[in-house]
Amino acid sequence: MPTAAEPPREAGPEAGRAFPDRLDALRDRLPPWLRATCALHRRGVVALAALLALAVALALQHHLAARPQPVAAPGSVTGAEPSPFRPRPAAVSGPTTAPPIVVDVGGKVRDPGVHSLPAGSRVADALRAAGGVRPGADTDGLNRARFLVDGEQLLVGVDPPPGAAPPAAGPGPAAGAGGPTAPVSLNTATVEQLDALPGVGPVLAQHIVDHRAGSGGFRSVEELREVNGIGDRRFADLRDLVRP
C-alpha cells in the first residue's frame, strides 16, 4: 500500500529558527522552579566570565607597567654657575717688595750717572752699577758697606763742591748725640739701627721689624702709626727721621 508522503522539511531562514523555538517550547513545559534554576545558572556563568575577563585585563596592564623602561643619561651641563656655598680658594698674596732707590754716582767711575738700585743696596752695589772705580781713584774715605739713601749723590775720588752737603751716613747711629744724619729706611733698617732713633727702644724697634715682616713692608711713613706703641706724639718725632 502506498505510504503517506512525509511533509517537506523546512529550509531557509525558517529552518534556522526551528531549534530555538523548540527549546523555548521545551522550557515552557518545565516546572516553574526548574526554569528559575536554569536562568540563575546562566546569569552566574555570564557574571563569572565577565569577572575573569576583567581580572585578565588588570593582570596584563600590571605586567606591562612593571616592565623596565630605558632611561637616557643626562647630557653634560656647561656654563653652570659655581655654587655659592662652595669654598673658594684663598688668594695667595706674596710679600710686597720695597720700591727701588735712585742714586747719582759721579766722580772717577767708569759709567757715572743716575742708577736705580733695589732697596737696601749699599755703596758697593752703586759702584758696581757704575762700572767700577777707575784706576788711581782715592777711595780711602769711602765706606763701601754703608746703606744708600734714595736720592743721594755719591762722589768717588773727588772733593764735593763748595757748599754741598756732606754725603749721607746712611741708617745707623751717628757719631754725636744728635742721632742719624739721614732718614732711616723702615724697610731695610735693623733693630739696632731703629733703636738709635730718638724715643725708640729695643722693644719698639722689634715691633717695627715685626710689623714690617707681617705687612710686607712699609709703603709710606704714615703706616708707622699702625705699629703697636707709636702714638701721635712719637710719630711726630719720628716722621722726619724715617722713610719707607
* pLDDT score, position 187: 87
Residue 85 has pLDDT above 90, yes or no: no
Is the pTM for the entire model greater than 0.75?
A: no
Residue 118 has pLDDT above 70, yes or no: yes
Residue 235 has pLDDT above 70, yes or no: yes
For 62-71, 78-87, 99-108, 193-202, which range has the lowest pLDDT when averaged over its residues? 78-87
Name which of 131, 97, 99 is nearest 116 in CA terms: 99
**How confident is the prediction for the chain on average, in pLDDT?**
74
Q: How far is CA 51 from CA 47, 91, 129, 209, in A?
A: 6, 76, 110, 98
Asked whether the beta carbons of 217 and 96 are under 8 A apart, the reply is yes
* pLDDT score, position 180: 42
